[in-house]
Amino acid sequence: MPELDGLGVLDELMDAVGPEAMPLTIFVTAYDQHAVRAFEANALDYLLKPFSDERFEATMARVKNRLKNQLDQRSLHEFGQRLMQMIAAKPSAPRRLDRLVVKSGGATRFVRVAEIDWIEAAGVYVTLHLNSNFAPKSAGTEILYRSSLAELAERLDPARFIRVHRSTIVNIESILQLEPISHGEFDVVLKSGARTRISRSYRAQLEERLGQSL
């Protein structure tokens, strides 16, 4: 090496690629006076000639272990980056409805969800059953609203509304009592006097919401 020795090559490489991209380095030399400088340059090993096959194999084993650790750390770092990207790209939860805009007979009415006692599926519509304390006498307590029951269940606050049947959602605050029927089913008696049914398949959801068994 007429112009640069091994340490000079490392210095040039460091300037070119930076410390993060530096390759693993092993010095093989007949001179022991450069050992300190070699390890200061983060050399993985320093083989002093003559060396045995066992010494060489031990060095190669160290290289393999170091490369494996670097790959594991890189994989973990890349996984962390992908996870952060997924979290950043995760869509925000849908905004819960606080009122419904109902168009009927050329007029537009705003119905606060707190006014709703229960909701009943009606084909591509649902029927909103309003608390009589809130419903104007001229408008009645039943309003037809264009939405599927499943779509509305996703948009309503689960802390207030719970689906109790494939065709029914009730406002928990409007429930007066439950009356057992048979085989795990209950009649829901609302404060308004209206009645609906809790089916067995939706009973577990209500129990989870209440935090206790029925």
Cβ neighbours around 175 below 10 Å, total: 19
Tokens of 10: 């490392």
| Mean of pLDDT values over 180-209 | 86
Which pLDDT score is estimated for 128? Answer: 93
Which pLDDT score is estimated for 1? Answer: 56
Which pLDDT score is estimated for 156? Answer: 92
Per-residue pLDDT for 200 more than 80? Answer: yes
Which residue would you say has higher pLDDT here, 55 or 86? Answer: 55
Per-residue pLDDT for 108 more than 60? Answer: yes
Per-residue pLDDT for 25 more than 90? Answer: no
Per-residue pLDDT for 138 more than 60? Answer: no
Phi, psi of 52 (to 5 degrees): -85, 165
Which pLDDT score is estimated for 92? Answer: 61
Which pLDDT score is estimated for 80? Answer: 66
Which pLDDT score is estimated for 16? Answer: 75
pLDDT tens by residue, 42-76: 777 888 888 888 888 988 888 888 878 777 666 65
| Mean of pLDDT values over 106-121 | 89
d(CA 210, CA 214): 9
168: confidence class by pLDDT, cuts 50, 70, 90: very high
Nearest to 160 by CA among 169, 150, 149, 151: 169
Is the previous residue joined to 23 through a cis bond, with omega within 30 degrees of 0?
no
Which residue would you say has higher pLDDT here, 81 or 181? Answer: 181
What share of the chain in percent tops pLDDT 90?
Answer: 18
Cβ neighbours around 100 below 10 Å, total: 20
Which pLDDT score is estimated for 134? Answer: 66
Domains of the chain: 6-89 (3.40.50.2300), 99-210 (2.40.50.1020)
Which residue would you say has higher pLDDT here, 118 or 34? Answer: 118
Which residue would you say has higher pLDDT here, 72 or 209? Answer: 209
pTM summary value: 0.53
